[in-house]
Structure 1
Amino acid sequence: MEAGFLDGTQGPLFHVLHPPRTAEAKGCVLYVPPFAEELNKSRRMVAEQARRLAAAGYAVLLPDLYGCGDSGGDLPEARWDGWLDDLRLCAETLCERFPAPLYLWGLRTGCLLAGALAQGLQVPPAGLVYWQPVSNGKLFLTQFLRLRMAAGMMGGDRETTTELRNRLGAGETLEIAGYALTPHMAQALEAARLSSPPQDTPVHWLEVMQGDAPQLPPASQRKVDDWREAGANVHATVVSGEPFWSTQEIRTVPALWQKTLGCLQRGSERAVAGTSPTTQPLVSVIMPAFNAAAYIEEAIDSILAQDYPNKELIVIDDGSSDDTVARVQAYGDRVRLLTQANQGSAVARNQGLDAAQGAYIAFLDSDDVWLPGKLTAQVGYLEAHPEIGMIYSEWLPWKPNESGHFPAPENMVPNLAADLPPPEQLPIVPEGSGWLYNRLLFGSLLHTITVMARRSLIEKVGRFDPELKRGQDYDYWLRASRQTEIRQIDRIFALYRLHGGGCINQWPDVNYEQLVVEKALARWGLEGPDGGRSDWTAVQRRLAYACFNFGYHHYWQGHPKLARRAFLTALSKHPLHLPSWRYAGLSMIKSMVRG
């Protein structure tokens, strides 16, 4: 982070610069702050967003407007047109240092300035990001004047907004909530309207509303609809949270940080490289979801934030009873939503496979997240190695802290994108790569949320087995391992969320792990497609341990009869396994006591 002053047109401009934490900038982001106290209330939100954008490869400039914050002058000396000239200077300075596409990011009245600036730039910005935009300066001025009215009522005064406007019109400067409002500034606000975006400049309209299923306010929706009818490319999103720009205490809305990052990253790779997304292979991402409202937005955002441009996301709702569907629908045409009665994740993934159009297929569960660079790295690796049909990566468990909150993903694996070599040079994990059939007999090496496969391989392997309520992915990797060499990239690209509602905490009544392995052995035996052969005794012991583990969990969950059967099966495969003897006896006693 760098702090300093620029020589503005009205006087010195204080600014904070967050340089990109990557070798080259993906884009330049110029922040346009709001008016009066809203600037101070929002500083924490803005500073954290800037840090996150810089970590993702963006150069971010946060200026204080002249007469505001730590910049020179006092507010009565500032002029609206002077602010526009200063912002133009900031944009030129930022892009001169970091030659990359320019994005304008405004908050509240800052959106009025950003919109006007966008129309006046010689080269239109690559995108506009509007946080809680004020579209009508006259209405904002009325609300601002009401702060004076409210304070006056407490002292016995009963001024109206009309009277206050008349005093401003007569040349009087008014003090409102500790800020001096000059006639010139009032006149500029009165006349300001949110400008239509330049042609082909996408607009990301982001609002924060309170409630479980917030909706865009009617006035905002009308503006968005009008722009869309005029041919503008507008993406409107609402996140749940408190109005951080006006709350008494300083507040943050973490969901807004991730949404904003996703908005900027979509298409930024195309802007930097000058590559059309249609020239790159399409990746279809399949996400089954069941009662996932608590986490699905983070999962979706982590996909949309991937810098690989040519992707489609297919969410299959498996009969959710919460507002999962509504949360997905809020993304509009950026996400394709399919629905079905509750039939399990295997059926949901199969429906996704049927709908997928991509040359590559990837998977993410609705409560997990991807880290930056996953799609670009995996597509690049497969493009460079046409003999490989499937790849996967490393992952990390994602646990809540003592307060029950999950750490920010970028704090789990910092500077991931900055450390990535070219995709074709990505290192692999030797022990997790190769013809994996024999190794997979001893455990499911692949985690579904890290996998990418060629469509041609998917067509050979077929569909997920809907009879397997658990382990359908393990079964799929075993089947795939008969068709292709599989490689593991030596990079962490996904976080697996550990929470009370996950399947890892709920044991089924069927030992699907044993079932999957025995099914593979019955079909293909001990010999892999590369000629390697597994030891029969070792495989039997592996199955014995799976049975013991299954029985152990059910014993402590209060199912002694089910546990006893599992321990006896374990002993049939590994008679010398003493823990199985011990727990077989204990489960028999517990069964007899319970009758």
Structure 2
Amino acid sequence: MPTVSVVIPSYCHAPFLARAIESVLEQTRPPDEVIVVDDGSTDGSPEEIRRFGSRIRAVFQENRGTCAALNRGMAMAKGEWIAIQNSDDAWEPQKLERQLAVCDRIPGCGAVHTGVRYMDEEGHLLEQPPGADLSRYEGRARGDLLPVLLHCMPIAVSSAMISRGALQLTGGFDPLLLGMGDWDFFLRLSLHAAFEHVPEPLTWVRKHRGSAGMDPSRLPSDWQDRDWRILAGSTMPAAARALFQRAREGRTDRREAARSLAALGFLYTLGGDRRRARAALVLSARLDPLRWQTHARLALALLPARRRRDA
């Protein structure tokens, strides 16, 4: 049976941290090690962590961000598989067991993620959570996810378990990213590995007032613009070229790749980056010259900025 390490980055989630750790320790297939990296919490989280004693490996560092905490924990991990758990989320008891069964049945996959449910501060089910709702995602969730991840992020990071080999090829999380680090990481991982998926909602994602997505004080006000510049300027162009090449070589469906590149071009257009929008849309048109939507978006990207606003 392969070994599993769990890495929990912790930052100021004291009310939820014990449940996050307990849900990992209560797995029907217990992990081989649990590493909690506290990223300079000031709310009592260190005391919660110390309460678990030798059942976990605890690390305390100055505040450097979630991605840096994840990288430190993954560097310490000894398992053949590394699962991530956010410090305010929780797992169903069968999560690791179900994921490892998939790994045993389908050797060679680089990551396995699960379905999700959402809960509030009290742990009650949220049928309509604020913000992104991955529980309603109906697109492709397994196999080659490069065409999907190029323009959207359908994976909850707390649901993911990653092979050591895929992690080594991907290179960890980018510590410069504040809120889009998971999207960037899984997009880069999709360049090297295939994904598998357990549809059961075995991961609980908590929505609460202190979460990064709902508490503006946890991140700089311009974090989305800063993150997008990094993601759109580096990872996405490389991924777009890789997808185009795969499609030309017959390793990815040409039409699906064309749709994905067109969607990326539209994202660039919305962000005002006409040069990269045109580059993505041209690649899309080369793969599927008869797709009229791509040509319409390309025409929009070619319009001067003022005329685009008038249109």
Q: Which residue in the other structure is 2:240 paired with? A: 525
User: Counterparts in 2 of 1:218-233, with a 5 A limit?
Assistant: none
Take 2:139 and 2:177, find their aligned partners in 1: how far apart are those partners? 30
Counterpart pick for 1:543 among 265, 268, 276? 268
Q: 2:6 aligns with which of 282, 285, 292?
A: 285
SS state at 2:179 partner: coil
- Residues 363-418 of structure 1: CA deviation (Å, up to 9, x unaligned): 01101111120000001111221121111111122135xxxx332x7x99xxxxxx
Cα deviations across residues 114-171 of structure 1 (Å, max 9, x unaligned)? xxxxxxxxxxxxxxxxxxxxxxxxxxxxxxxxxxxxxxxxxxxxxxxxxxxxxxxxxx
In the alignment, what sits opposite 1:362?
A: 83
Q: Does 1:341 align with 2:62?
A: yes
Scaled by the length of structure 1, the TM-score of the pair is: 0.40
Shift of 1:349: 0.5
Counterparts of 1:122-133 in structure 2, within 5 Å, are: none
Question: In the alignment, what sits opposite 2:258?
Answer: 534
* CA offset digits 1:481-535 (Å, max 9, x no partner): 0111112221101111111111112374042245314422332434424344335
Q: Of 478, 482, 486, which aligns to 2:195?
A: 486
Listed as ranges, the matches of 1:115-154 within 5 Å are: none
- Correspondences of 1:421-500 after superposition (within 5 Å): 431-500=140-209
| Residue pairs, 1:65-464, within 5 angstroms | 280-400=1-121, 405-407=122-124, 431-464=140-173
- The Cα offsets for residues 267-325 of structure 1, whole Å up to 9 and x where unpaired, read as xxxxxxxxxxxxx3221110111112111001011111111034211000001112111
**TM-score scaled by structure 2?**
0.75
Q: Is the 8 A contact 2:12 2:43 kept in 1?
A: yes
Q: Which amino acid aligns with 1:500?
A: R
> Residues 281 and 310 of structure 1 are in contact (CA less than 8 Å); yes or no, is this contact kept in structure 2?
no
> Contact 2:24–2:31 at 8 Å: present in 1 too?
no
1:294 aligns to what SS in structure 2?
helix
Query: Matched residue of 1:521: which SS?
Result: helix
Separation in structure 2 between the aligned mates of residue 498 and residue 581 of structure 1, nearest angstrom: 36
State the alpha-carbon separation in 2 of the partners of residues 355 and 526 from structure 1. 33
**Is the CA contact 1:289–1:365 (under 8 Å) kept in the aligned structure 2?**
yes
Which letter does structure 1 place at the counterpart of 2:123?
F
Any unmatched runs of 5+ in structure 2?
128-137, 273-299
Instruction: Give the AA of the match of 1:509.
Output: D
Contact 2:8 2:36 (8 Å CA) reproduced: yes
Residues 322, 577 of structure 1: alpha-carbon distance in 2 compared, 3 angstrom cutoff = same
The amino acid across from 2:115 in the alignment is: E
User: SS of the residue aligned with 1:534?
Assistant: helix
Identical counterparts, % of pairs: 25
CA RMSD, aligned part only?
2.9
Q: Are the counterparts in 2 of residues 541 and 574 from structure 1 also a CA contact under 8 Å? A: no
Comparing 517-526 with 450-459, greater Cα deviation is found at: 517-526
Confirm or deny: 8 A CA contact 2:6 2:31 kept in the other structure.
Answer: no
Are the counterparts in 2 of residues 514 and 543 from structure 1 also a CA contact under 8 Å?
no
- Residue type at the aligned position of 2:100: V
Deviation at 1:461, TM superposition (A): 1.1
| Post-superposition offset of 1:546 | 6.4
Aligned AA (1:503):
A
Alignment partners' CA distance in 2, 1:452 and 1:406: 23
Quote the Cα distance in structure 2 between the aligned partners of 1:391 and 1:575.
42
Aligned partner of residue 494 in structure 1, secondary structure? strand
Distance 1:515 1:392, change over 3 A: same
Distance in structure 2 (CA, Å) of the matches to 1:509 and 1:430: 30
Q: Which has the larger radius of gyration?
A: 1
TM-fit CA distance, 1:577 = 11
Answer whether contact 1:514 1:546 (CA < 8 A) is retained: no
For residues 476 and 435 of structure 1, do their structure 2 counterparts lie closer, same or farther at Cα, with a shift above 3 Å needed? same
In the alignment, the residues of structure 1 paired with residue 36 and residue 28 of structure 2 have an alpha-carbon distance, to the nearest angstrom, of 20
1 or 2 for the larger relative contact order (CA 8 Å, sep ≥6)? 2
What is the alpha-carbon distance in structure 1 between the residues aligned to residue 81 and residue 157 of structure 2? 14
Indicate how the Cα distance of structure 1 residues 524 and 309 shifts in structure 2: closer, same or farther if over 3 A, else same: closer
Of 510-519 and 306-315, the range deviating more from structure 2: 510-519
The verdict on how the C-alpha distance between 1:545 and 1:488 changes in structure 2, with shifts beyond 3 A counting, is: farther
Uncovered stretches (5+) of structure 1, i.e. residues with no partner: 1-279, 413-428, 548-571, 583-595
In structure 1, the residue corresponding to 2:177 is in which secondary structure?
A: coil
Structure 2 distance, partners of 1:292, 1:356, is 22
Whether 1:509 aligns to 2:222 is yes
Partner of 2:130: none
* d(CA) in 1 for partners of 2:109, 2:21: 27
What SS is found at the alignment partner of 1:298?
Answer: helix
1: CA distance, partners of 2:263 / 2:305: 13
Please give the alpha-carbon distance, in whole angstroms, between the structure 2 residues aligned to 1:363 and 1:484: 18
Measured after TM superposition, the shift of residue 440 of structure 1 is 0.7
Structure 1 residue 437 displacement after superposition: 0.9
In the alignment, is the contact (CA less than 8 A) between 1:346 and 1:464 conserved in 2? yes
In structure 2, what is the Cα distance between the partners aligned to 1:444 and 1:478?
A: 9
Q: Could you list the per-position Cα deviations for residues 180-211 of structure 1 after superposition, in whole angstroms to 9, with x for gaps in the alignment? A: xxxxxxxxxxxxxxxxxxxxxxxxxxxxxxxx
Asked if the contact 1:438/1:526 (under 8 Å) is kept, the reply is: no
Partner Cα distance (2:58, 2:140) in 1: 38
Shift of 1:545: 4.7
